[in-house]
């Protein structure tokens, strides 16, 4: 018992010591260029800029989380029965959701085993004009249709895959996690007004992701209010086929993970007393250029949705695909 208390004292001391080291500085993401086949990996390093404030990100991902991890190792179940009981209850709850009393996997409403349901996906398609004079972004929210592909011509086709275990938009309830547990807030596909080229996306780490991806052209209420000043946690460049009938040609997609924090959390349990609020919204972005038009996919989730469904949310963003209707 004495040893545990001593270790905990040292751990807490490290946490206190780490707080003064939090400074306001920028850590820009490195955009890695790689092919979906994982061949010929090549990394590009960009010069950091001072446009982003990453004190929150740096502290949480660095000193604070590592220290909390040390604290978790020091406190055993014997000396923290409350935490042990909570973990055990969560484990039992997940077990009863996935397995029958005889040990077999439970089936979902469509008669599939949980693993089979998890592997299923549903493709969502939205068409955009290949030319437009609109001064604001053209938006498809949760699969809403912008153009009629049977009537209109010269269209840009966008698709993405949502897990079959999710209920239909806009609820996005994960049927394998329990009743009324949302996995996603919303999925937005938008076309930036005007002409665009890949040079604009290449400059994202210097001019800022909101400017590079035309977020200011969006009508209010679609994305979180604090998105324009959000932290960019990571970025990468991915190559995908340039069309469903591609003969080896590829198109670049620029992916960014962004996190938004509320302006104030004074009366919230989330307030750590460190001068900033933890993130409450995660936005996964993917952007590309087709027919001189920039098309962007945004997968938005709350912090709770991110905790339970981060892998699925990333898969939705990764499945984003754009091609010209003339292909």
**pLDDT tens for each residue of 14-42:** 444 443 333 333 334 444 443 443 334 33
Confidence of residue 216 (pLDDT cuts 50, 70, 90): very high
Q: Structure tokens of 5?
A: 């208390």
Identify the pLDDT of residue 24. 33
**Which of these, 278, 230, 277, lies nearest to 256 by C-alpha position?**
230
Residue 256 pLDDT exceeds 50: yes
**Helix, strand, or coil here: 240?**
strand
pLDDT score recorded for residue 323:
95
Give the span between the Cα atoms of 35 and 29, in whole angstroms.
19
CA-closest candidate to residue 237, choices 98, 46, 44, 73? 44
pLDDT in tens, 230-254: 999 999 999 999 887 777 899 999 9
| pLDDT given for residue 293 in this prediction | 96
pLDDT at 55: 56
Taking the C-alpha atoms of residue 11 and residue 71, their distance in angstroms, rounded to an integer, is 6
Report, as an integer, the average pLDDT of 216-229.
92
Residues 136-193 pLDDT 10s: 999 999 999 988 766 667 899 999 999 999 999 999 999 998 778 999 999 999 999 9
Lowest mean pLDDT across 223-227, 252-256, 290-294: 223-227
- What percentage of the chain reaches a pLDDT higher than 90? 47
Higher pLDDT, 316 or 49: 316
Instruction: Pick the more confident residue, 229 or 38.
Output: 229
Cα angle: 215, vertex 218, 221; to 5 degrees: 115
Q: What is the mean pLDDT of residues 190-213?
A: 96
Would you state the CATH architecture of domain 24-52+117-324? Answer: 3-Layer(aba) Sandwich (3.40)
DSSP line for 52-98: ---HHHHHIIIIIHHHHHHHHHHS-GGG-HHHHHHHHHHHHHHHHHH
Q: What's the pLDDT at 248?
A: 83
What local confidence, expressed as pLDDT, does residue 314 receive? 97
4 phi/psi in degrees, rounded to 5: -65, -45
User: What pLDDT, on a 0 to 100 scale, did the predictor assign at position 219?
Assistant: 93
- Each residue of 80-96: pLDDT tens digit? 333 334 443 444 444 45
What is d(CA 185, CA 305) in angstroms, rounded to the nearest whole number?
8
Please check whether residue 252 is in contact with residue 238, taking contact to mean a CB–CB distance below 8 angstroms. yes
Query: Could you state, in order of their start, the residue ranges of all structural domains in the chain?
Result: 24-52+117-324
pTM, full prediction: 0.66
Among 1-10, 99-108, 196-205, 261-270, the range of highest mean pLDDT: 196-205
What pLDDT was estimated at residue 264? 79
């Amino acid at each position: 018992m004495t040893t545990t208390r001593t270790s905990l004292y040292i751990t807490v001391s490290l946490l206190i010591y780490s707080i003064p080291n939090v400074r306001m500085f920028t850590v820009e993401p490195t955009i890695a260029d790689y092919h979906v086949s994982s061949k010929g990996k090549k990394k590009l390093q960009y010069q950091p800029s001072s446009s982003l404030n990453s004190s929150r990100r740096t502290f949480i991902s660095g000193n604070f989380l590592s220290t909390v991890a040390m604290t978790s190792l020091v406190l055993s179940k014997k000396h923290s029965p409350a935490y042990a009981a909570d973990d055990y209850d969560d484990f039992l709850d997940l077990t009863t959701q996935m397995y029958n009393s005889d040990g077999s996997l439970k089936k979902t409403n469509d008669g599939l085993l949980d693993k089979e349901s998890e592997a299923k996906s549903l493709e969502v398609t939205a068409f955009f004009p290949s030319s437009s004079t609109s001064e604001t972004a053209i938006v498809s929210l949760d699969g809403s249709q912008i153009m009629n592909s049977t009537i209109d011509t010269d269209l840009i086709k966008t698709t993405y895959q949502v897990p079959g275990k999710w209920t239909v938009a806009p609820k996005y309830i994960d049927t394998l996690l329990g009743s009324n547990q949302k996995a996603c807030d919303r999925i937005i596909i938008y076309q930036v007004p005007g002409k665009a080229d890949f040079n604009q996306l290449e400059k994202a780490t210097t001019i800022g992701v909101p400017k590079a991806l035309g977020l200011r052209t969006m009508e209010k209420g679609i994305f979180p209010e604090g998105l324009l000043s959000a932290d960019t946690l990571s970025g990468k460049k991915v190559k995908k086929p340039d069309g469903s009938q591609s003969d080896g040609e590829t198109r670049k997609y620029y992916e960014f993970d962004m996190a938004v924090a509320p302006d104030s959390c004074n009366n919230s349990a989330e307030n750590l007393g460190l001068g900033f609020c933890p993130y409450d919204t995660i936005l996964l972005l993917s952007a590309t250029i087709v027919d001189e038009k920039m098309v962007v996919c945004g997968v938005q989730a709350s912090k709770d949705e991110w905790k339970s469904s981060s892998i699925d949310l990333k898969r939705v963003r990764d499945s984003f695909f754009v091609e010209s209707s003339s292909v």
